[in-house]
Structure 1
């Protein structure tokens, strides 16, 4: 763990104290005024619709058409391009969304709340893998699934949570880590735990959907991490990382001490990558999605020591795990007070808690992100998994802005 020369960062203590609970699933329009007013939100830092990567543009058009903004995705996208449908980022609205991260008013959102502070965060539900909207896929099957999620899955989950009571997301992550998840690219154990907890209160078709969707828990880990970083935002002078977000063109980061200011650089291609059979590196879209919030919190790629099974799925060798873990601990903001990583030799170590951006700059080690990979062309969907890194320049610019904000004013 990086040892700064200054006093301990109070933002890290706030991150450690967050206890996210999943409390409800509600239509987005009920909790996000921008979406209630007919706007659309997306993953990553801000971007014009005309500058979006093809998978994100396709997702915007399909989602807008489902919302009734126009009769077809093409017509809906024309309205968005003309500025008649306002766009904002998920992070700027208090939430996160995987891959393209497109959210509209009727989509059901997971709502997490921190009881001590009353703060909340949100994330849409997970569609599954492969040909799904968040990867830029379209067609009748994609649309029908989204409509079923809106009309059946969301309300059923809300009813189940009311019957069961809120879900302790830290406790679920603690258990899933012990079972071999890293809570980002591998979430099968977490999904099974949620299915077990809520299953008795769910209709059979909903229980079967969750049980058959190994990535369902990803969005719960995302909303948990987003809420924890919300609790740690706005601490003057803090170099704690509070966001890594990617829109397929640029990657943006935020620090606690610089608030909602974005620091951006170009989105990279995954390297290494584990592509599906028949796919090649030329098919890959650059880095995309808000799911890197899991790494910002300290899990995902930063918890690979607990999840040997996640390594091959993103193109890594299991023999690399201990070296990766030791390297990443040098940029850790702290040790998690509750979450433990169970290693292959049977020993445990605390999960990493947060990332110190100043350590990233001083040591030249950027936090990796385990990610799904979208095809660069629209309408196809997921083609594999890999590892990406946020741009180095963004960290240098963020730390420089932080230093400038706390520097004494010359007289």
Structure 2
């Protein structure tokens, strides 16, 4: 197995292998993130000025701020954003993640995951479901009503269920979900059902119905699990372990364990291949968007394609190509996962992490399964596809890593 080889030489990979994310609470974001409590708003991807954001993200942040009461309406909130009157920060820089636009404000409920051994934590907002939703830049009474219900009912109900159930072992749920045909990013129906079943005895009927009717519910749990695992593996000098891929719809940024919180960026690409919902066309697609690529950074999602026959066609791939693709993906893997298995059909270790140096050496970039946002706000998801982070970001990151290593006195 790769795990023994790489863990022996890279403490970051050993820390990643040891991470055991537990879902422990659901709390208002402002109770978890000091910057949000002080008035900041979070967004997906690397840093970007509001005037440079793609349309879905601009609208999502403006709507979120209006709901928060920071402005009388979204138009006024957008004026504040463009004037630089609002502290705007990447979610990753605040220790969390958010799907698509990733808009997060203080009152929004967030999933809180804690590592069993180290006590480190990470967070992610709750999944709204499909259709007209904030993360795609939707506005309107139904969007606001759903977010208010999530704040006032869903979040507290989940928190209460976790108090009764105890921490939910996210690694255990993902292991079972992989066995049932999820890849834990674009396909999360099994994980959503498993999470529901674990907490159902303590949930009210409307919350149970919401989770059962939202196959994407578990995506955000997989995201917070992966983010926490990468937090555990971060900041190891000299390590080329990839710890972040994040997209803001204009640029894609990456981070490495050995370079800490420094961003390395390149242009966001359009999904290719892409499977679009009729009548949308390639011209309708927004470039790569969202923090959910953290699932691939961990080693699941597109890197677990062989687990999910249903995920492949949903992103424009043929499942017949999975064996060859998986062989390719394993050439950039940091290690084999010590606990998670893929069924191909015989069980084999899942990939654990991505080695950025191997990406540069081979020219193979880690693929990302993604929902495709319409370039106009409010339309929502128009399909699914595969994207790849920019190669130049990996080259710059490895160059910086090597410079830091060379600067350390012998």
Shared fold (TM-score, shorter chain, > 0.5): yes
Hey, what does 2:269 align to over in structure 1? 268
Classify the secondary structure of the residue corresponding to 1:353. Answer: strand
Determine if the alignment matches structure 1 residue 325 to structure 2 residue 322. no
Q: Distance in 2 between matches of 1:353 and 1:8?
A: 15
Q: Cα distance, 1:7 vs. partner?
A: 6.4
Hey, what does 1:215 align to over in structure 2? 216
| Deviations 1:310-329, CA, capped at 9 Å, x for gaps | 00000001111111100000
> Would you say the 8 A contact 1:136–1:374 is kept in 2?
no
Hey, what does 1:289 align to over in structure 2? 290
> Would you say the 8 A contact 1:156–1:203 is kept in 2?
yes
> Would you say the 8 A contact 2:191–2:218 is kept in 1?
yes
Q: Distance in 1 between matches of 2:28 and 2:407?
A: 46
Hey, what does 1:407 align to over in structure 2? 406
Hey, what does 1:311 align to over in structure 2? 312
Classify the secondary structure of the residue corresponding to 1:407. Answer: helix
Determine if the alignment matches structure 1 residue 15 to structure 2 residue 3. no
Determine if the alignment matches structure 1 residue 34 to structure 2 residue 35. yes
Classify the secondary structure of the residue corresponding to 1:96. Answer: coil
Q: Distance in 1 between matches of 2:350 and 2:386?
A: 19
Q: Distance in 1 between matches of 2:210 and 2:409?
A: 62
Q: Cα distance, 1:200 vs. partner?
A: 1.0
> Would you say the 8 A contact 1:2–1:359 is kept in 2?
no
Hey, what does 1:251 align to over in structure 2? 252
> Would you say the 8 A contact 2:181–2:309 is kept in 1?
yes
| Deviations 1:185-207, CA, capped at 9 Å, x for gaps | 00000000011111110010000
Q: Distance in 1 between matches of 2:382 and 2:144?
A: 20
Between the two proteins, the alignment pairs up a number of residues equal to: 409
Classify the secondary structure of the residue corresponding to 1:214. Answer: coil
| Deviations 1:259-283, CA, capped at 9 Å, x for gaps | 0000000000000011111000000
Change (3 A) 1:172 1:372: same
> Would you say the 8 A contact 1:123–1:219 is kept in 2?
yes
Q: Distance in 2 between matches of 1:141 and 1:234?
A: 42
| Deviations 1:28-82, CA, capped at 9 Å, x for gaps | 0101111101110100000000100000000011100000011110101111111
Q: Cα distance, 1:130 vs. partner?
A: 2.5
Q: What does 1:54-203 correspond to in 2, within 5 Å?
A: 54-203=55-204
Determine if the alignment matches structure 1 residue 234 to structure 2 residue 212. no
> Would you say the 8 A contact 2:365–2:391 is kept in 1?
yes
Classify the secondary structure of the residue corresponding to 2:9. Answer: coil
Classify the secondary structure of the residue corresponding to 1:88. Answer: strand
Any gaps of 5 or more consecutive residues in structure 2?
none
TM-score for the superposition, normalised by structure 1: 0.97
Any gaps of 5 or more consecutive residues in structure 1?
none
Q: Distance in 1 between matches of 2:138 and 2:109?
A: 19
Q: Distance in 1 between matches of 2:223 and 2:178?
A: 15
Which portions of structure 1, spanning 4 or more consecutive aligned residues, are displaced by more than 2 angstroms?
A: 1-7, 408-411
> Would you say the 8 A contact 2:6–2:335 is kept in 1?
no
Hey, what does 2:48 align to over in structure 1? 47
| Deviations 1:88-134, CA, capped at 9 Å, x for gaps | 11000000000000000000000000121110000000001232111
> Would you say the 8 A contact 1:130–1:383 is kept in 2?
no
